[in-house]
């Protein structure tokens, strides 16, 4: 059986630290899945799982064992394709189903009556396309639930419910009465709204998955709801807790808090893949120094010389002072400049905070359907956006901190198992050079200066 390499770290649970590629072959890994959980290679391939990545090698045995887990990996390896989530949910469905069968008082899949007895996957609702992101997971989970049921001798009901921002309480309440779910895919806001109204309770929930956990804990709007979800609405004694993110600053302190605050069990496992190199080696980091008034022309020069087929340009958010003065947002100004100055430009798409869910979804649909694109966006697109064709990232404005730089950079290099070069280019003033150097030191990468 494939076992993760574990070293006990006092007060912080078990620690799986992976600094080099795993030596286990794909054949051995699939043999492990079949022997332990009955998941054959063919079944895995049917849901898009072809070859395991480092984090999958290390995390899946821990997840399937039923232990609490904090998963931290390179910025675009956890979700570089949906095979990680697919196999996680698939395996959890099977192991949870087996767990239910051991307890004759609990039916295998007869879930709810206003109770969720199975899996809840929650995440932020304020990233660029939270609604479509969770909707994709909803579709995947529903497909995997059906696939899991095919393996059982008795056909039973297993439903998947999506609680997304923008839905109505009345509709969700009606759904619960008609077809209680086994799995809930939710934004944190919508889930807690249902719990506050006592429309849903989690007393018999068995697995809780929290994605982008560092963002939620650092968000003043989300943190109180997250803590209530972890300690008030459910208990660690009755559930398996899974946290995931590409960035968990001060992770040792976070592991300590997980145990002390009773967010997880004391034997929680921290799977940390490539802690020395937070970003994959296929990313090349560059910077250009120019004056503030030269940024537009510098960006235009970069686009003309790089000629990217698909790229994302990150722009800083508009200040409150600028908004009150009635100025146009910097994203709009940049879009207008590119429309008039960049001939032969791929399709220009805008993504920013002030857009509603439908507008954001429409923008991302346009991007995915186009042959090439230039996506102009604020940091709302730094998490959750999965556009594998993106080869270039341009920081028109530097991000606020290293964590945001990490997530911006993670929007490229997302083709699974591809070593193709991708580029992250920052346009800075001479005074901002020390800020970029601080990011380099913190994230352990080197940035090359481009001279025009």
Question: Residue 276 — pLDDT band, cuts 50, 70, 90?
Answer: low
pLDDT for 115 equals 40
pLDDT for 14 equals 57
Of the given ranges (67-76, 238-247, 273-282, 332-341), which has the lowest mean pLDDT? 273-282
Nearest-angstrom CA–CA distance, 315 and 331: 6
Find the Cα–Cα–Cα–Cα dihedral 384, 342, 401, 188, rounded to 10°: -20
- Residue of 211 and 170 predicted with greater confidence: 211
Confirm whether 45 is domain-assigned: yes
- Residue of 210 and 345 predicted with greater confidence: 210
* Range(s) of the domain holding residue 71: 7-273
Same structural domain, 47 and 169: yes
365 has a pLDDT exceeding 80 = no
Question: Residue 82 — pLDDT band, cuts 50, 70, 90?
Answer: very low
Same structural domain, 124 and 255: yes
Give the number of domains in the chain. 2
- Residue of 35 and 392 predicted with greater confidence: 392
Same structural domain, 250 and 299: no
Confirm whether 2 is domain-assigned: no
DSSP state letters, 394-430:
EESS--SSHHHHHHHHTTSS-STT----EEEEEEE-G
Of the given ranges (14-23, 289-298, 402-411), which has the lowest mean pLDDT? 14-23
pLDDT for 193 equals 85
- Residue of 233 and 83 predicted with greater confidence: 233
302 has a pLDDT exceeding 90 = yes
- Residue of 397 and 72 predicted with greater confidence: 397
Q: Which residue, 209, 241, 273, sits at the end of a domain?
A: 273
Same structural domain, 43 and 178: yes
Q: Which residue, 273, 307, 337, sits at the end of a domain?
A: 273
CATH number, domain at 358?
3.40.50.300
Are the C-beta atoms of residues 444 and 277 closer than 8 Å to each other? Answer: yes
pLDDT for 222 equals 86
High-pLDDT (> 90) share of the chain, %: 29
Of the given ranges (163-177, 202-216, 219-233), which has the lowest mean pLDDT? 163-177
Same structural domain, 381 and 436: yes
188 has a pLDDT exceeding 70 = yes
Question: Residue 448 — pLDDT band, cuts 50, 70, 90?
Answer: very high
Range from 167-171, 298-302, 322-326 that averages highest in pLDDT:
298-302
Same structural domain, 256 and 124: yes
Confirm whether 362 is domain-assigned: yes
The stretch 382-404 carries a mean pLDDT of 90
Confirm whether 353 is domain-assigned: yes
The stretch 182-211 carries a mean pLDDT of 84
Confirm whether 1 is domain-assigned: no
Confirm whether 278 is domain-assigned: no
Q: At what angle do helices 402-409 and 433-443 cross, to 10 degrees?
A: 70
Nearest-angstrom CA–CA distance, 69 and 32: 19
pLDDT for 145 equals 52
pLDDT for 255 equals 93
DSSP state letters, 4-31:
---EE-TTS-EEEEE-S-----HHHHHH
Confirm whether 115 is domain-assigned: yes
pLDDT for 157 equals 56
The pLDDT tens digits for 97-151 are 444 344 433 322 222 323 444 566 666 654 444 444 445 555 555 555 555 545 4
pLDDT for 20 equals 41
pLDDT for 439 equals 95
pLDDT for 345 equals 78
Confirm whether 290 is domain-assigned: yes
- Residue of 95 and 301 predicted with greater confidence: 301
Of the given ranges (32-36, 88-92, 337-341), which has the lowest mean pLDDT? 88-92
Same structural domain, 257 and 365: no
Number of other CB atoms surrounding residue 362 within 10 Å: 13
Q: Which residue has the tokens 């494939």?
A: 2
Q: Which residue, 227, 253, 273, sits at the end of a domain?
A: 273
DSSP state letters, 182-214:
SEEEEEHHHHHHHHHTTS-B-TT--EEEEESHH
């Amino acid at each position: 059986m494939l076992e993760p390499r574990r070293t006990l770290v006092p007060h912080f649970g078990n620690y799986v630290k992976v600094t080099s590629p795993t030596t286990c072959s794909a054949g051995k890994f699939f043999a492990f899945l079949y022997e332990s959980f009955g998941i054959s290679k063919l079944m895995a391939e049917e849901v898009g799982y072809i070859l395991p990545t480092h984090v999958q090698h290390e995390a899946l045995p821990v997840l399937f064992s039923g232990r609490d887990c904090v998963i931290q990996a390179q910025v675009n390896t956890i979700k570089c394709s949906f095979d990680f989530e697919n196999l996680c949910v698939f395996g959890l469905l099977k192991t949870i189903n087996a767990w239910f069968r051991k307890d004759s008082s609990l039916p295998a899949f007869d879930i709810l009556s206003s109770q969720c007895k199975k899996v809840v996957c929650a995440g932020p609702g304020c990233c660029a396309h939270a609604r479509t992101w969770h909707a994709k997971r909803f579709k995947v989970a529903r497909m995997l639930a059906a696939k899991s049921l095919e393996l059982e001798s008795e056909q039973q009901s297993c439903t998947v419910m999506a609680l997304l921002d923008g839905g109505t309480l009345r509709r969700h309440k009606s759904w619960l009465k008609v077809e209680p779910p086994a799995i809930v895919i939710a934004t944190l806001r919508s889930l807690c709204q249902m719990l506050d109204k006592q429309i849903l309770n989690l007393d018999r929930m068995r697995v809780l998955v929290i994605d982008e956990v560092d963002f939620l804990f650092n968000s003043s709007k989300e943190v109180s709801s997250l803590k209530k979800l972890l300690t008030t609405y459910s208990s660690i004694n009755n559930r398996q807790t899974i946290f995931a993110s590409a960035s968990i600053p001060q992770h040792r302190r976070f592991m300590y808090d997980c145990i002390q605050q009773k967010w997880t069990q004391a034997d929680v496992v921290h799977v940390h893949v490539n802690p020395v190199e937070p970003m994959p080696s296929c990313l090349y980091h560059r910077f250009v120094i120019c004056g503030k008034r030269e940024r537009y022309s510098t960006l235009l020069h970069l686009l003309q010389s790089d000629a990217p087929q698909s790229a994302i340009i990150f722009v800083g958010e508009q200040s409150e002072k600028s908004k009150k003065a009635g100025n146009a947002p910097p994203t709009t100004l940049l879009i207008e400049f590119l429309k008039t100055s960049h001939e032969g430009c791929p399709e220009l798409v805008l993504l920013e905070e002030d857009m509603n869910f439908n507008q954001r979804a429409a923008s991302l649909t346009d991007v995915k359907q186009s042959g090439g694109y230039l996506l102009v966006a604020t940091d709302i697109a730094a998490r959750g956006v999965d556009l594998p064709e993106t080869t270039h990232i341009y920081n028109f404005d530097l991000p606020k901190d290293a964590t945001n730089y990490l997530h911006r950079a993670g929007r490229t290099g997302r083709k699974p198992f591809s070593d193709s070069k991708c580029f992250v280019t920052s346009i800075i003033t001479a005074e901002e050079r020390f800020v970029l150097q601080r990011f380099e030191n913190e994230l352990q990468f080197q940035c090359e200066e481009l001279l025009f």
